[in-house]
């Protein structure tokens, strides 16, 4: 069977890491696309030379021409600018909306059957705009944020309880911003809900509240430390997990920025929800029962996303 084709639009920090992970996992042949001359070509050549050392067979090429993404099975979009200290994700909207327009047109013209995973920030608005600009079906365009935010939440909980990260399972819903909703009631350690672990005296409500807040500001914490950009290892790993769920028809329930039309009282926008990812892309948005606090927090997050969409429409009248 012919190898799958993975196109990475944006060959920066996350794009290069995506390419390395996809090659190591032999997900398919990889095309790195960027507008910067030489960057995708240089990283593709360097990554190809990892092959003999790491033992992976993957054709890795770099290009500045959208025609080279033709026939891609999966497209992961990181094109745009990243945050610097003092910037919010929303500050990137003006620049990155224009980038999504060019990326959407490139995808529509060359790879309309691909499963598209958007990573560019502000994520919930950019994935919506990319879907609008590309015209692809809503189930074939999804945003990566919840897998990363849940991974951050899981990491902090594993440290708190002193347990393997393998036994921690969490959900973070809502927008990829300060209003995101780490859902404590559905977060477990090997099936034991966190609220029960509080009752068992394994931690305190105050410590869990602090972990929720650290999760919300997890991106900013790394931007402040790096000073030159934002996180890229865990974002890349999270995007690859979503690509694998599609390529392998894994039917995973993952927290992703999916198009929600009716569930959670939301009509017609992208926001972080649990969804089943398989060979048909986003196969189902799973509507879980939320307690009143989580419901209220999710509504705040949805309202924040709606404001971003208004800003997008104010910039580009075609939206």
Q: Which stretch binds ligand TXD (CB under 6 A): 31-39, 193-201, 244-252, 265-273?
A: 31-39
* Plot region of 187 (φ>0 → left; ψ -120 to 50 → alpha; else → beta): beta
Q: How do strand 181-182 and strand 172-173 relate by DSSP bridges?
A: antiparallel
Rule CB under 6 A: say whether 160 interacts with ligand TXD: no
Give 238-241's long-range contacts (Cβ < 8 A, gap of 24+): 238/144, 238/147, 238/148, 238/151, 239/14, 239/18, 239/76, 239/117, 239/119, 239/144, 239/147, 240/18, 240/21, 240/22, 240/25, 240/27, 241/147
Minimal distance, residue 34 CB to ligand TXD, in Å: 5
Rule CB under 6 A: say whether 92 interacts with ligand TXD: yes
Rule CB under 6 A: say whether 18 interacts with ligand TXD: no
Q: Which is nearer to ligand TXD, 120 or 187 (CB)?
A: 120
> CA separation (Å) from 82 to 68, 85, 91, 121?
25, 10, 10, 7
* In contact, 47 and 19? CB cutoff 8 Å: yes
Residue with tokens 């610097």: 84
Site for ligand TXD in 257-296 (CB under 6 A): none
Q: Which is nearer to ligand TXD, 32 or 189 (CB)?
A: 32
Q: How do strand 188-189 and strand 168-169 relate by DSSP bridges?
A: antiparallel
Rule CB under 6 A: say whether 123 interacts with ligand TXD: yes
Q: Which is nearer to ligand TXD, 197 or 231 (CB)?
A: 231
Rule CB under 6 A: say whether 15 interacts with ligand TXD: yes
- Strand order of the sheet with strand 252-261? 60-63, 29-33, 5-9, 74-77, 115-118, 141-143, 252-261, 267-278, 281-285
Q: Is 13 annotated as a binding residue?
A: yes
Distance CA 118, CA 233 (A): 16
Residue 138 falls in the annotated catalytic set: no
Tell me which of 20, 43, 131, 176 is the catalytic residue. 176
Minimal distance, residue 197 CB to ligand TXD, in Å: 27
Rule CB under 6 A: say whether 148 interacts with ligand TXD: yes
Site for ligand TXD in 34-53 (CB under 6 A): 34-36, 39
Rule CB under 6 A: say whether 255 interacts with ligand TXD: no
Instruction: Tell me the backbone φ, ψ of residue 259, rounded to 5 degrees.
Output: -75, 120
Size of the site for ligand TXD (CB under 6 A): 35
* Plot region of 182 (φ>0 → left; ψ -120 to 50 → alpha; else → beta): beta
Instruction: Kindly tell me which residue out of 133, 153, 232, 259 binds ligand TXD, with binding defined by CB under 6 A.
Output: 232
Q: Which stretch binds ligand TXD (CB under 6 A): 42-50, 120-128, 162-170, 177-185?
A: 120-128
Distance CA 38, CA 6 (A): 19
Q: Which stretch binds ligand TXD (CB under 6 A): 91-99, 107-115, 206-214, 264-272?
A: 91-99
Q: Is 83 annotated as a binding residue?
A: yes
Active site residues: 176
Which residues line the annotated binding site for NAD(+)?
Answer: 10-15, 34, 96, 119-121
Can you give the binding site for ligand TXD, defined by CB under 6 A? 9-15, 34-36, 39, 78-83, 92, 96, 99, 102-103, 119-121, 123, 144-145, 148, 176, 229-232, 235
């Amino acid at each position: 069977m012919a190898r799958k084709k993975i196109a990475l639009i944006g060959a920066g920090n996350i794009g290069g890491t995506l390419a390395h992970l996809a090659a190591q996992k032999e997900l398919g042949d990889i095309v790195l696309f960027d507008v910067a001359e030489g960057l995708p070509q240089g990283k593709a050549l360097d990554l190809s030379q990892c092959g003999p050392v790491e033992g992976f067979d993957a054709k890795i090429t770099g290009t500045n021409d959208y025609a080279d993404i033709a026939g891609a099975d999966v497209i992961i979009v990181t094109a745009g600018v990243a945050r610097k200290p003092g910037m919010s994700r929303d500050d990137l909207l003006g620049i990155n909306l224009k980038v999504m327009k060019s990326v959407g047109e490139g995808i529509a013209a060359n790879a309309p059957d691909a499963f598209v995973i958007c990573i560019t920030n502000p994520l919930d608005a950019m994935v919506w705009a990319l879907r609008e600009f590309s015209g692809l079906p809503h189930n074939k365009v999804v945003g990566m944020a919840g897998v990363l935010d849940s991974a951050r939440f899981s990491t902090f909980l594993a440290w708190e309880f002193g347990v393997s990260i393998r036994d921690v399972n969490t959900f973070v819903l809502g927008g990829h911003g300060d209003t995101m909703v780490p859902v404590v009631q559905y977060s477990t350690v090997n099936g034991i809900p966190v609220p029960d672990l509080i009752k068992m005296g394994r931690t305190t409500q105050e410590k869990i509240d602090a972990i929720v807040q650290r999760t919300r500001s997890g991106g900013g914490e790394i931007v402040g430390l790096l000073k030159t950009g934002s996180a890229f290892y865990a974002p890349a790993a999270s995007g690859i997990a979503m690509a694998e769920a599609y390529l392998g028809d894994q039917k995973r329930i993952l927290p992703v920025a999916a198009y929600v039309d009716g569930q959670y009282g939301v009509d017609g926008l992208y926001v972080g929800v649990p969804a089943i990812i398989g060979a048909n892309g986003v196969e189902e948005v799973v509507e879980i029962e939320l307690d009143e606090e989580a419901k209220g927090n999710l509504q705040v997050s949805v309202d924040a996303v709606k404001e971003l969409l208004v800003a997008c429409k104010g910039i580009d009248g075609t939206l």
